[in-house]
Amino acid sequence: MTVLQKKSESPIAHLSPEDVELIGIELDAIRQEVLDSRGARDARYIRKVITTQRYLELGSRAVLLASVFPPAWILGTAGLSVAKILENMEIGHNIMHGQWDWMRDPKIHSTTWEWDNASPSEQWKHSHNELHHTYTNVVGKDNDLGYGIMRVDEDQRWHPMYLGQPLWNFVNACFFEYGIAAYDLELGRNLRIPKEKRSEDFKARAKATLKKIRRQMTKDYVVHPALSIPTGSFLPTLAANFTANLVRNLWTHSVIMCGHFPEGVETFEKKSIEGETRGEWYLRQMLGSANISGGAATHMMTGNLSFQIEHHLFPDLPSNRYAEIAPKVRALFDKYDLNYHAAPLPKQVASAWHKIVRLSLPNGWLDDTNAKNAPKQLAKLYKMTTGGPKVRRLIEAADRRARNDARINAA
Amino acid sequence: MTETAVRTSLSRRLVRLAEAATTPLLPADYLDLVAPLRPGADLRARVVSVRPETRDAATLVLKPGADWAGHVPGQYLRIGVDVDGVRQWRAYSLTHGPRRDGHISITVKAVPGGTVSPYLVHETKPGTLVHLEPAAGDFVLPTEARKLLFVTAGSGITPVIGMLRNLFPVTEEGVARPSGKPAHDIVVLHVAPSEPDSIFLADLRALEAAGAIRLVARYDDQHGVLDLADLAGLVPDLAERTTYACGPGGLLDALTEHHESAGLPLFTEQFRPTMIEPGEGGTLHFADGRSVEADGATPLLEVAESAGVLMPSGCRMGVCFGCVLPLKEGAVRDLRNGAITTVDPTTSAAGGVPIQTCINAAAGDCHLAH
Ligand SMILES: Cc1cc2nc3c(=O)[nH]c(=O)nc-3n(C[C@H](O)[C@H](O)[C@H](O)COP(=O)(O)OP(=O)(O)OC[C@H]3O[C@@H](n4cnc5c(N)ncnc54)[C@H](O)[C@@H]3O)c2cc1C
Ligand code: FES
């Protein structure tokens, strides 16, 4: 894949500027309909989710006090994993988006919510709400595309270090909350700056993050295990909490990958968003997101990010409404002949992983490789990996020529 | 260490342990699930009963949280209720003196088209949890005995009934006159559109029958709208009395003028909050006293920034909520869909209403808590 602006067949070539603005007007109308009917039902919904999550977390932690008994360990760990996922996704993520600010309840408000995650909500809101949601899928601007450490697009030059990308991605998935914290801190960029030149702002934020991490760790790995000592469950509870965090990390990472990584989701050029109109902004969100199809449980456990398209169009609408407006949004895609990207979770996860593996290799390598030419392809990959930039460039140029010739011959 | 010092340091340690176990939430977030009225909780109350007074008025008896500090009759409280999912704050006078069961009560008249009062009168169910602020207001009686005149109009009877019930509790034997309370000489001039609309008329009549007060009732439909020139006729010893008046702004303004020119003492309580009429643009005020003119089409964020005020911001297009600041008072218009948000101190949460400055423009004078 490549940024939309450089594609030979653009999926939006058939839209006139008027069409794009009409799409914007229709989407504004869908948004207004929800705003006009927002009320007690929605408030009841989020309060119920919050209350359920709190009882689930309390109950699970209580069961884990006796986690030396295997059934208690399994039940408590499963409950705590679900509680943590609910807290991060349907509750934390959505409240911090301001989806529930309209209730004017200071306890359920984007300016006061703190979530069960390593990154302080203040920093996460900045990198997620301000950067990712504004610059969705703009290569070089939206660091969510690969969290700044991965090759997510053919246009990014291949380097042998990207061969490790599937492994990093897996490690990042396991420790996702710390990955997010590091990413919110722009840790990579800041660590490259000599210590004495780092900004005061960075130092303050790093301190806040460390404090949050210390608290989180004390809770999960000291206090609750210690409370389990009377039943001899210190280590089992510690393991349970670690497992719940791991499950939460893997799950959230998978869901988030599904949102923007699956094959067929578009990326955009930096230049393309200069002076973007509201219609164009909407269009970018439509093409840059992918949904997960599934039942009510899937939607709840993904924090309704299974409606990633609807969420990106209207990040501040209450999450329980995404399912309701999805058919209207989908009809709009059909009307303007656009691809509404939706597939079940396993398929989207597989697709995202496929893309990560494909891009970890030189352009075209994975597609060109079959059982017959595998030895030759491996030899080529070896040469590209060990041969230095000049060798790489030569081979890349030869490949491009060969692909061009093949295309011309086919035509 | 003394025994109490040991105990407080132990309980402090327990609190810290509980905090470490519940972070990033607080132990209170869990305790609120089961004991929302416990000591130390945010001030709340549970609705015990809702009793209709007239067709469009009802008394709500509330069981306040443990930290309710009590009130002086005549004072009001601010109550926060969720109407259509949105937390709204309104002021209501307390209509009982301190009660033995520790409950408090307010009496609400449903204002046609109002947001909160019809909800409180017609839709509130016993058991509902509401939010409170401590009692406030200095519409209260002097401690030594005096000759008093109460002028009440419409629902303006509420603080007065609170005072009267405190002075003359109703017991099984009827209206009592407990010793130890100042023996005021009281006239109540009660004004209402018509007799059936009068809240607490039965109470006033019982007090009169017991000789506790002299009641002068004036109904617009029977006697015509009250003319203050008649006041001296209705209350011959007016000059000796201290007047307490509560009712619509118009009546209070007229009474203030009347009493000022006659040189008579007057205490008033006005129910109608300062109304904020949304318009186009206005002056934007900041917490540090600075201010700048804002037109009706430019987002407050831009207005503030071009005046050199450092503002939090992010996407600048209404998506990220990075620019949210509390509006303490004023009116703003959402530039995307024209939606108006008005905030006045009596009808909003204590800290103001948080708004997105990047998509809201001034629709009147605005005070930002920034
Ligand atoms: C100190 C204080 C004490 C109060 N005590 C009481 C009390 O004991 N009992 C009681 O019923 N109310 C009392 N009020 C008034 C109460 O706070 C609300 O203003 C009233 O209930 C209307 O609220 P609402 O949300 O229904 O109307 P809103 O939605 O706020 O207003 C809707 C419309 O009604 C008009 N309106 C607002 N208030 C009034 C009013 N008081 N009379 C007529 N029209 C109005 C507005 O101009 C507006 O057009 C008191 C107010 C104050 C400031
Ligand atoms: S700056 Fe992003 S919502 Fe206002």
pLDDT digits over B122-172, tens only? 999 999 999 999 999 999 998 888 899 999 998 899 999 999 999 998 877
Mean pLDDT of A234-255: 98
Q: Which residue has the tokens 């990308």?
A: A165
Strand pairing partners for B353? Answer: B327
State pLDDT tens for residues A298-353: 999 999 999 999 999 999 999 999 999 999 999 999 999 999 999 999 999 999 99
pLDDT of residue B274: 65
B202 in Cβ contact with B210 (< 8 Å): no
Chain A, 243 to 282: residues with Cβ < 8 Å from chain B are 281
**Any chain A CB within 8 A of the CB of B209?**
no
Whether the pLDDT of residue A146 is over 70: the answer is: no
Would you call A215 and B339 a contact, using CB atoms and an 8 Å cutoff? no
DSSP string, A298-352: HHHHTTTGGGHHHHHH-TTS-GGGHHHHHHHHHHHHHHTT----EEEHHHHHHHH
Least confident of A91-95, A264-268, B81-85, B303-307: A264-268
Would you call B315 and A111 a contact, using CB atoms and an 8 Å cutoff? no
State pLDDT tens for residues A29-50: 999 999 999 999 999 999 999 9
B306 in Cβ contact with B340 (< 8 Å): no
Q: How far is the CA of B319 from the centre of ligand 2 (A)?
A: 6
Architecture of the domain made up of B146-269: 3-Layer(aba) Sandwich (3.40)
B128, B103, B106: which is closest to B57 by C-alpha? B106
Residues on chain A touching B356 (C-beta within 8 angstroms)? 98
> Where in chain B do CATH 3.40.50.80 domains reside?
146-269
State pLDDT tens for residues B169-209: 887 777 887 777 778 999 999 999 889 888 999 999 999 99
Residues on chain B touching A38 (C-beta within 8 angstroms)? 85
Distance CA(B104)–CA(B106), nearest Å, equals: 7
Q: What are phi and psi of B231, to 5 degrees?
A: -55, -45
Would you call A40 and B82 a contact, using CB atoms and an 8 Å cutoff? yes
Q: Give the A:B interface size as CB pairs under 8 Å.
A: 108
Would you call B33 and A316 a contact, using CB atoms and an 8 Å cutoff? no
pLDDT of residue B183: 85
Residues on chain B touching A315 (C-beta within 8 angstroms)? 319-320
pLDDT of residue A188: 85
Least confident of A394-403, B257-266, B322-331: A394-403
Whether the pLDDT of residue A411 is over 90: the answer is: no
Residues on chain B touching A32 (C-beta within 8 angstroms)? 337
Question: Within a 13 Å sphere around the CA of A138, how many CA atoms are in the beta-carbon half?
Answer: 19
Would you call B315 and A133 a contact, using CB atoms and an 8 Å cutoff? yes
Nearest CA, atom 15, ligand 1:
B271
A114 in Cβ contact with A276 (< 8 Å): no
Other CB atoms within 10 Å distance of the CB of residue B236: 9
pLDDT of residue B202: 92
Q: How far is the CA of B137 from the centre of ligand 1 (A)?
A: 16
- Residue A178's pLDDT band, with cuts at 50, 70 and 90, is very high
Q: Is B318 close to ligand 2, i.e. is its CB under 6 Å away? A: yes
In chain A, the residue whose alpha carbon lies closest to the alpha carbon of B324 is A111
Would you call A55 and B33 a contact, using CB atoms and an 8 Å cutoff? yes
Q: Which residue has the higher pLDDT, B321 or A411?
A: B321
Distance CA(B158)–CA(B137), nearest Å, equals: 14
Would you call A105 and B82 a contact, using CB atoms and an 8 Å cutoff? yes
pLDDT of residue B137: 93
Which ligand is nearest the CA of B114, by number?
A: 1
Among partner residues B29, B85, B354, which is closest to A43 by beta-carbon distance? B85
Whether the pLDDT of residue A219 is over 90: the answer is: yes
Helices (H), A38-141: 40-64, 70-86, 94-96, 121-125, 133-134
Would you call B321 and A316 a contact, using CB atoms and an 8 Å cutoff? yes
B259 in Cβ contact with B284 (< 8 Å): no
- Residue B1's pLDDT band, with cuts at 50, 70 and 90, is low
**Any chain A CB within 8 A of the CB of B319?**
yes
Instruction: Show the CA angle centred on residue B131, arms to residues B128 and B134, nearest 5°.
Output: 135
Whether the pLDDT of residue B115 is over 90: the answer is: yes
Would you call A223 and B30 a contact, using CB atoms and an 8 Å cutoff? no
Residues on chain B touching A55 (C-beta within 8 angstroms)? 33
CA distances from A29 to A102, A318, A320, B29, B344 (A): 19, 16, 18, 37, 30
Homologous superfamily of B279-368 = Beta-grasp domain (3.10.20.30)
Distance from CA of A136 to the nearest CA of B (A): 12
Residues on chain A touching B125 (C-beta within 8 angstroms)? none
pLDDT of residue B261: 94
pLDDT of residue A35: 97
Burial of residue B138 (CB within 10 Å: 0-12, 13-18, 19+) is exposed
Whether the pLDDT of residue A1 is over 60: the answer is: no
> Where in chain B do CATH 2.40.30.10 domains reside?
44-132
Phi-psi region at B251: left, alpha or beta (left = phi > 0; alpha = psi -120 to 50): alpha
**What average pLDDT does chain B have?**
93
CATH T-level topology, domain B44-132: Elongation Factor Tu (Ef-tu); domain 3 (2.40.30)
Distance CA(A295)–CA(A279), nearest Å, equals: 31
- Residue A25's pLDDT band, with cuts at 50, 70 and 90, is very high
Q: Is B89 close to ligand 1, i.e. is its CB under 6 Å away? A: no
B151 in Cβ contact with B196 (< 8 Å): no
Q: Is B323 close to ligand 2, i.e. is its CB under 6 Å away? A: yes
Among partner residues A54, A103, A219, which is closest to B85 by beta-carbon distance? A103
Tell me whether strands B147-153 and B185-192 are parallel, antiparallel or unpaired. parallel
CA distances from B69 to B22, B41, B61, B107, B130 (A): 29, 13, 17, 20, 17
Q: What are phi and psi of B33, to 5 degrees?
A: -65, -35
Q: How far is the CA of B269 from the centre of ligand 1 (A)?
A: 13
In chain B, the residue whose alpha carbon lies closest to the alpha carbon of A110 is B321
**Any chain A CB within 8 A of the CB of B350?**
no
State pLDDT tens for residues A149-177: 788 888 888 999 999 999 999 999 999 99
Q: Is B243 close to ligand 2, i.e. is its CB under 6 Å away? A: no
**Any chain B CB within 8 A of the CB of A40?**
yes
Among partner residues B24, B314, B354, which is closest to A114 by beta-carbon distance? B24
Distance CA(A173)–CA(A20), nearest Å, equals: 37
**What average pLDDT does chain A have?**
93
Residue B169 in 3-state DSSP? coil
Q: Is B272 close to ligand 1, i.e. is its CB under 6 Å away? A: yes
Q: Is B275 close to ligand 1, i.e. is its CB under 6 Å away? A: yes
Whether the pLDDT of residue A256 is over 90: the answer is: yes
Secondary structure letter of residue B330 according to DSSP: E
Distance CA(A18)–CA(A10), nearest Å, equals: 17
**Any chain A CB within 8 A of the CB of B171?**
no
Q: How far is the CA of B238 from the centre of ligand 2 (A)?
A: 60
Q: Is B86 close to ligand 1, i.e. is its CB under 6 Å away? A: no
Q: Is B158 close to ligand 1, i.e. is its CB under 6 Å away? A: yes
Query: For a pLDDT cut of 70, what percent of chain A falls above it?
Result: 98
Distance from CA of A119 to the nearest CA of B (A): 11
DSSP string, A4-53: GGG-SS-TTTT--HHHHHHHHHHHHHHHHHHHHH-SHHHHHHHHHHHHHH
Q: How far is the CA of B247 from the centre of ligand 1 (A)?
A: 11
State pLDDT tens for residues A94-137: 999 999 999 999 999 999 999 999 999 999 999 999 888 988 88
pLDDT of residue A295: 96
Q: Look up residue B251 and give its two tokens.
A: 């009546």
Tell me whether strands B242-247 and B147-153 are parallel, antiparallel or unpaired. parallel
Would you call B85 and A212 a contact, using CB atoms and an 8 Å cutoff? no
- Residue B273's pLDDT band, with cuts at 50, 70 and 90, is low
Q: Is B92 close to ligand 1, i.e. is its CB under 6 Å away? A: yes
pLDDT of residue A120: 97
Mean pLDDT of B70-93: 96
**Any chain B CB within 8 A of the CB of A140?**
no
Q: Is B314 close to ligand 2, i.e. is its CB under 6 Å away? A: yes
Give the position, in ligand 2's atom list, of the atom nearest the Cα of B314: 1
Q: How far is the CA of B284 from the centre of ligand 2 (A)?
A: 19
